[in-house]
Every structure is written in structure tokens, then in C-alpha cells.
Chain A
Amino acid sequence: MAALSRPTLPPPTERFTLLGWLQKNLFNSWYNALLSVLTVVFIYWIIRGLLVWATSVAEWQVVAANLRLFLVGQYPVDELWRVWICLYVLAFISGASYGLWSRGVGAFGIALLAGPLFLSALPFTLNLRLLMIGIAVTGFFGWLLAMRLPALFRTPVTWSWVLYMVFVILMVRGFTPAGGFLPVVPSNLWGGLLLTFLLTVIGIVFSFPIGVALALGRRSNLPIMRYSSIAFIELVRGVPLITVLFMAQLMLPLFLPAGVTIDRVLRAMVGITLFSAAYLAENVRGGLQSIPKGQEEAALALGLNGFQRMALIILPQALRAIIPILVGQFIALFKDTTLVAIVGLFDLLGIAKTVLAQPEFIGRQAEVLAFVSLLYFMFSYVISYISRRIEVAQGVGER
């Protein structure tokens, strides 16, 4: 019987043995074996050195004592609740997104949850530790809720991320005069990780529409639009970010009417936004060029007007095609904001410099830089992980 009708067989599986795995992957030839051994020795040497340094040589007092400075700079203590609210909303949307897209429990979700729980285990004040636990619970709650929702909710949740960015700006800055519900906190008090985030978020939120507009302007049939877009893009892309930041500090006031002053943080934001917009425009242009001509023709034949063709057919496809590039650009922007330290702002790196100038912490550069690097790495890694997930999700079924 088996000879006549061939049964479908499962693919052969190798039984996993440690020795077998080692031989196949690490020691399959003498030079690979040598390479493996050398690498292991090298990694061991580095990790051991780091651990020894971190646990017995380093004095983390400098980080613990200045933690609030690192995180929020001079932001008034009485208004810190606004930042907490932003964090809680962030936890909720993150949890909900994770539930909606990953539909389960994964290592990444557990890591997200473990972050605040780990922090709550550190010797902070009781209040702080409770707030941390609250964040973990809120994120978990968002996840639990979203697990029951149909995929239909993905669109509103995506939009809630866009709204969230605006929300953060409003909350942190405030919009009522002193004594009101949300009094304005002047931006010279923003600092540390908070400022780094705000510079990045504002850079993204504002450079996105400007960049798209520049990309469209570059394709425009109107010569004035086209040439001014090209001039702007090429000019900004031709100089380093640091010069754009200095220009924004020095020259922006010249363009404003007398009597209007804008503070240094805002000037830096303008510089970052314009810089990012120029690069974004080129990326968007690449996306627009990748859309086959037939798409435009089909839209024309259906009678869609120019705006509809762009907004409904061409742009959505172009932007979708460049999501990975955009995320890469935004991660780069996140790290590039450190340059504002040079024009005298107290972002994460700027704060690090002031902390190191405190007499009692002279010579603690290694600890401070390690801490700051760790923060940058964590956030960059999270963003790039999410972007990889988005790519996978986009690739399924829609092409």
C-alpha cells in the first residue's frame, strides 16, 4: 500500500544534541574552530572587564544623585505630574499596540513590562516605585484590553500615536498662563532625556509634513515651487547639522520682526526640523519614484483629480515603501539631537556635561557616559525593533 500511494512525509528532523550543534556550527573546519575559540575568548574578556568595572570599580553615586537631572533637567518638580501622565498614556498605547499587533506574549513584550518593574525594585523613594509599578500595570492593562479587540482597531491605534506626539508637546509645554490649569513651562527649563525626546518628537512631527511638501514641490510643474524646493533641499543637505544649529541660533532672530524673541530651545527645534525635512524630502522622492506609472494612469482614468491621485493613491504607497528608511532616519535624528549640547542646551548629553562639572563628581566620566549610552541604545533598539515588526506586518498579504 505504502508503495503505491506515496504518503506525504514530514521533513526529516535532526535530533538536537549539544555536541552535534557545536560541531556543525562552530567547529566544522579547523579555521572555523580557531575563529570560534578566539571570538569566545575575546567576548569573555570584554564582558568580564565590563562586569568587574560596573560592579566594583564604578561609583554609580553620580547617576543616582543626579537621576532627576538626567531625566527631566530643570523641569519644575510641581509640574512633573504632567510628564508622568505622558508616561502612563505611553504605557497604555504601547500595551494596546503590542496586544493588537503581536496577538500574544513575546520576549519583547515581557521585556517592556520588565523595564518599569525592574526600576521599581531599585532603591528609589516609595512614591517613585509605586508610580513605576503603575506604569507596568497600565501597559499590561492596555495589552489585556487590546487582545480582545478585532484587528479593525489597528487604524485608530495607529492614529493615536500621531495624536500622542501632539499630546506630549501640549502637556509638557502647557498652554495657560501661570496659575492656570496647565501653566506654560518655559523651554529653557526642559532638559535631560525629556528634552532629547521632545527635540526628536518635534523634529519628526514637523519635518514630516514639510519634507513631504518639499518632495512634492520638487516634482511640481511650477518652476518657482520646483527650484525653491531644490535649492532648499540641496542647501541644507550640503552642510553639517551643527552648522544648521548655529545658524538657527544666530540667524533666526534676524528674520523675526522686532520685539518677537524666541528662546534657544525653540531655535534649536527649528534647526533640527528643517534639517530633518530636507533629508526626508529626498527619501520621500525616492518612494514616489518607485511607484509604477500605471498607478497614476489608473487613477487618471477613473477621473480622480490631482490632489486625490496624490493623497489616495501615490503617497500612501510611496510612504509605505520607505517606512524602514524613515525609521532609520528618525533613529539617526534621535541621536543627532546630542549636538544641541554644543549650542548650550541641556539635553541628555548637555546635562551629562554639567553633572561632570559638579566638584564632588569630578572624574566620573566613564559612569556618566556609560549610563547615557545605555539610555540611547535602549531607545534606539526599541524603535528599530518596532520598525522591523512593521515591515513584517506590511509585507504580509498587501503586495
Chain B
Amino acid sequence: MSETSETGSEQPIIIAKDVHKWYGHFHALKGINMQVHKGEVIVIFGPSGSGKSTFIRTINRLEEHQRGQIIVDGIELTHDVRNIEKIRMETGMVFQQFNLFPHLTVMQNITLAPIWVRKWKKQKAEELAMQLLERVGIPEQAGKFPGQLSGGQQQRVAIARALAMQPKIMLFDEPTSALDPEMIKEVLDVMIELARSGMTMLVVTHEMGFARAVANRMFFFDDGQLVESGTPQEIFKSPKEDRTKLFLSQILTH
């Protein structure tokens, strides 16, 4: 898209330099290098076990990287707890399994972090929460518990919960993989709207329609490596790497 050239001159909002991660002896990330600019929408795809989840979870330190550098919004991720907290305040995350808090209502799920982390007044937090629920299309569910909602509705609440912290970056780890087919669209619509509003997004997904519609760039992961990156046009029309071609041919024929 056209924004890439404009934002190209600015300092990238996410920088990963030679990031490595081991689980015991297993080498899960083998030197990832990439940069994301403000407002960019990045789709990460690749075979199962290739390290996609591991990588986006290192960005808000749900997983610790053991070598290399990750810099988010000018702050480097180290063992310094204050830096980690700062970065977590600036990044929202949406999980495959929603991970809503089942003992709290939808409203309480959304206002919890603004009240306790941002120290907002309850009333202010609730006003924002209502706006967000309108935005994701379920204002009437505010008083319900997560267990009373459909999967698609739960995932939209999870998006609203992440947005309530007014993050600069949103991370999505396969947000539609646990959903029944008829609910995938309602979640993708919300994500597309969010992408068009200028949010910086890293999305692990195999929804290629979503990638075509809003992705600025796509990253192909395989075997712990970032094998290929490019615009959706480049990736779909003329992938350079054989591994990318093979993987695309597998998922696109289905």
C-alpha cells in the first residue's frame, strides 16, 4: 500500500535483530530479523510448529528471547521489569482461545486493565468500554458473562479488551482458528476495520482473504526462520522461495 513509503523514513515501531529462542535444546527461533513501521499491517503465516506464535509472543515478552535484540516503540526488551510493563501497556494481544476471564462480566473484562493498570476512574473506563463494544458490534452483551456468548462474540470482546488499553500495537495469534466457519467473518470484519483505522498489527493467520484485503506485508515462517517477506502481491503472484510456493499451493488449493 501507499503508506509504506511515507512511513519508511520514520523510526520503526518494532525492530527485531537476530532473535533466537530455545526451548531446552530445541531451537525454535533461528535468528529473526525484521522491522515494522507505525500503521503497518503484517500477516505472518507458515506451517505448524514453524515458530509463528513463539515469535509474536516474544514481542510482549510472554516468551523470553535468549539472543538478539527486540526494540518496541524505542524501548528495548531486557530483564528490566519496568520496561516489560511499559511495552505490555503499549501492546494488545488477542489469543486463539480468547482467554476471557470467565468470572467477570464482559464489561468487567474490558475495564479491568484500564482501571488497575492505567488507573482510570471506573466511569471513564466504562464509557470507553461501551464505545469499543459498539465498535465490535455487541453493545448489548455488556452485562453478560463470557460463557453466555458465542465464540465469535467472545473473540470480539477479547479484541475490545485489548483495545481498551489504547495500545499502539495489536498482536493476533490465530484469532479465528478456534471459531466455527460462520463466525470467522464477524471477527475478520472487526479486524479489517481496525487495520483501516491505522492500527499497527501483527497477525498470525491463514486467512488469505484478510491478507489480500489489508496486509501491507506478509512474512513467511518455516522451521524457526523468516524465509520470505513481501507485499501480498509479491507473495501471491511471484514468491521467490520454493518453500513459500509449496506452502501456498497447499493452503490455497483447499
Interface residues, chain A, with chain B CB atoms under 8 Å away: 292, 294-295, 297-305, 308, 312-313, 316-317, 320, 397-399
Flag whether B88 is at the interface (Cβ < 8 A): yes
- Partner of B116 from the list A294, A295, A312, A320 (CB cut-off 8 Å) is A312
Please determine whether B88 and A398 come into contact, CB atoms closer than 8 angstroms: no
Verify if B241 is at the interface (C-beta below 8 Å from A).
Answer: no
Q: How long is the Cα–Cα vector from A320 to B101 in the complex, in angstroms?
A: 13
Whole-angstrom distance between the alpha carbons of A398 and B144 in the complex? Answer: 9
Q: Are A301 and B92 in contact (CB under 8 A)?
A: yes
Beta-carbon contact of B101 and A295 below 8 Å: yes
Q: Is B93 an interface residue (CB 8 A)?
A: yes
Nearest B residue (CB) for A294: B99
Considering the chains assembled together, what is the distance between the CA atoms of A301 and B112 in angstroms? 12
B243 to chain A, nearest CB (A): 30
Contact with A along B17-39 (1 / 0, CB 8 A): 00000000000000000000000
Q: In whole angstroms, what is the CA distance A292 to B89 when docked?
A: 23
How distant is the Cα of A290 from the Cα of B194 in the complex, in angstroms? 35
Among candidates B102, B112, B117, B161, residue contacting A399 with C-beta atoms closer than 8 Å:
B102
CA distance A299 to B113 in the complex (A): 8
B112 contact from A292, A295, A302, A320, Cβ within 8 A: A302
Contact among A292, A302, A399 for B165, CB-based, below 8 A? A302
A398 to B104, CA, bound (A): 8
Q: Distance (Å) between the CB of A284 and the closest chain B CB? A: 16
Beta-carbon contact of A398 and B116 below 8 Å: no
Q: Which 5 A-B pairs have the closest CB atoms?
A: A298-B99, A294-B99, A302-B113, A301-B93, A303-B88
CB-nearest residue of chain A to B85: A303
Query: Which of A292, A301, A304, A397: most chain B Cβ within 10 A?
Result: A301
Contact residues, B75-119 vs A (CB, 8 A): 85, 88-89, 91-93, 95, 97, 99-103, 112-113, 116-117
Q: Which of A292, A294, A301, A317 contacts B88 (CB 8 A)?
A: A301
Q: Is the CB of A303 within 8 A of B103?
A: no
Shortest distance from the beta carbon of A356 to any chain B beta carbon, whole Å:
50
- B100 cross-chain contacts in A, Cβ below 8 A: 298
In contact, A303 and B95 (Cβ under 8 angstroms): no
Instruction: Add 17 more A-B contacts to A300-B60, A301-B88, A399-B147 (CB < 8 A).
Output: A294-B97, A294-B99, A298-B93, A298-B101, A301-B60, A302-B88, A302-B117, A302-B165, A304-B112, A308-B116, A313-B101, A317-B102, A398-B103, A398-B145, A398-B147, A399-B102, A399-B145
On chain B, the residues within 8 Å of A317 by CB distance are: 101-103
- 6 of the cross-chain contacts (CB-CB < 8 Å) are A295-B99, A297-B95, A298-B100, A300-B60, A302-B88, A302-B117
Q: Which residue of A lies closest to B109 (CB)?
A: A298
CB < 8 Å neighbour of A303 from B102, B113, B147, B148: B113
Per a CB cutoff under 8 Å, which of B60, B102, B117 touches A304? B117
Q: Once the chains are docked, how many angstroms separate the CA of A399 from the CA of B147?
A: 5
Complex Cα distance, B100 from A298, in Å, reads 8
Number of A-B contacts (CB under 8 A): 63
B62→A300 contact, CB < 8 A: yes
Q: Which residues of B contact A301 (CB under 8 A)?
A: 60, 62, 88, 91-93, 162
Q: Which residues of B contact A316 (CB under 8 A)?
A: 103
Task: Kindly state the separation between the CA atoms of A127 and B162 in the bound complex, as whole angstroms.
Answer: 64
Residues of B within 8 A of A (CB): 60, 62, 85, 88-89, 91-93, 95, 97, 99-103, 112-113, 116-117, 145, 147-148, 161-162, 165
Q: Which residues does chain B contribute within 8 Å of A302, judged by CB atoms?
A: 88, 112-113, 117, 161-162, 165
- In the complex, what's the smallest C-beta–C-beta distance from B137 to chain A, in angstroms? 21
| B residues less than 8 Å from A313 (CB atoms) | 101
- CB A351 to nearest CB in B, in angstroms, measures 43
* Docked-complex contact B62 and A304, CB < 8 angstroms: no
The closest CB in chain B to the CB of A293 belongs to B99
**A397: chain B residues within 8 A (beta carbon):** 145, 147-148
Q: Which residues of B contact A305 (CB under 8 A)?
A: 85
A308 CB to nearest chain B CB (Å): 5
For B89, B100, B103, B162, which residue has the most chain A Cβ atoms within 10 angstroms? B103
CB distance from A161 to the nearest CB of B (A): 19
Residues on B with C-beta less than 8 A from A295 are 99, 101
- A317 and B91 CA atoms in complex are apart in Å by 25
Tell which of B85, B95, B97, B116 has the most Cβ of chain A within 10 Å: B116
Give the complex CA separation of A312 and B93 in angstroms.
19
User: How far, in whole Å, are A302 and B95 apart by their CA atoms in the complex?
Assistant: 12
Q: How far is the CA of A313 from the CA of B112 in the complex (A)?
A: 10
Interfacial chain B residues near A398, Cβ < 8 Å: 102-103, 145, 147
Q: For the complex, what is the distance from the CA of A298 to the CA of B233, rounded to whole Å?
A: 34
Inter-chain contact A300/B116, CB cutoff 8 Å: no
- A312 to B97 CA separation, bound complex (whole angstroms): 20
Chain B nearest Cβ from A63, distance in angstroms: 47
Chain A nearest Cβ from B97, distance in angstroms: 5
Q: How far is the CA of A302 from the CA of B99 in the complex (A)?
A: 12
Check if B88 sits within 8 Å of A300, measured CB to CB: yes
A303 cross-chain contacts in B, Cβ below 8 A? 85, 88-89, 113, 117, 165
In the bound complex, do residue A312 and residue B112 qualify as a contact, i.e. CB atoms below 8 Å apart?
A: yes
Identify the closest chain B residue to A317 (Cβ).
B103
Shortest CB distance B148–A (Å): 6
Chain A min CB distance to B118 (Å): 9
Contacts of A312 in B (CB 8 A): 112, 116
CA distance A216 to B186 in the complex (A): 41
